[in-house]
Structure 1
Amino acid sequence: MKTWFLSIEAALLAMAGLRLLSGLIEISAAGLMLKLNSVEKAVAVNAMLAIVGPTIFITSILIGLTGLSDRLSLSKFLFIGAGVVLILIGIKR
């Protein structure tokens, strides 16, 4: 078991850890909404989640690109960056 864990790339572990953290934040927010028992307060909690999601997304993309930096050309990095920008534009509109 120990050798399997050590064989995983650090970037992959960081990305998976961020996604787990994001999921825990989402679950905690759902519980908080239920505890507050108010639509107005639930909307406020949901607004805070709107900041967390894209932050986790961008951070995990950056970690992944850092892990791939020795295997990708500059043009591929630019295409991936353009794709991320288009995703964020699509989410906002």
Structure 2
Amino acid sequence: MKFLFGSINSTVLTMAGLRVLSSLIELSAAIIMIITNDIRKAVVVNSILAIVGPLIFIITMTIGIYQIAGQLSYAKLILIFAGVVLILAGVHK
């Protein structure tokens, strides 16, 4: 595996891996919705996705910010944190 991803930063690889996992969860949910062919079950699956999506987003952002925190000023870190909060608030309501 080191041969394939040797030149890729391990943090970037972790973040990308989480995004691939998220996409597989989304694809699986779509397949489940099609297989069940029931609106109520599809709504339940969709509500679970509403939890998984932001959770993956927060984890991915946390990993990335943790790695660059030493290179950023406190003001920039606060702005990034505020931006994440605003994104989550905008998606929620």
What's the TM-score, normalizing by structure 2?
A: 0.92
Indicate yes or no: 2:48 matched with 1:48: yes
Residues 1-93 of structure 1 mapped to structure 2, 5 A cutoff? 2=3, 5-93=5-93
- Pairs aligned (count): 92
Q: Structure 2 stretches of 5 or more lacking a match? A: none
DSSP-derived class of the 1:69 partner: helix
| Identical columns (%) | 51
- What is the distance in 2 between the residues matched to 1:92 and 1:28? 23
1:27 to partner: Cα distance: 0.3
DSSP-derived class of the 1:7 partner: coil
1:70 to partner: Cα distance: 2.3
1:67 to partner: Cα distance: 1.5
- What is the distance in 2 between the residues matched to 1:69 and 1:6? 24
1:8 to partner: Cα distance: 1.4
Compute the RMSD of aligned alpha carbons: 1.4
1:52 to partner: Cα distance: 0.4
The 10-residue stretch of structure 1 (63-72 or 27-36) with the greater mean CA deviation from structure 2: 63-72
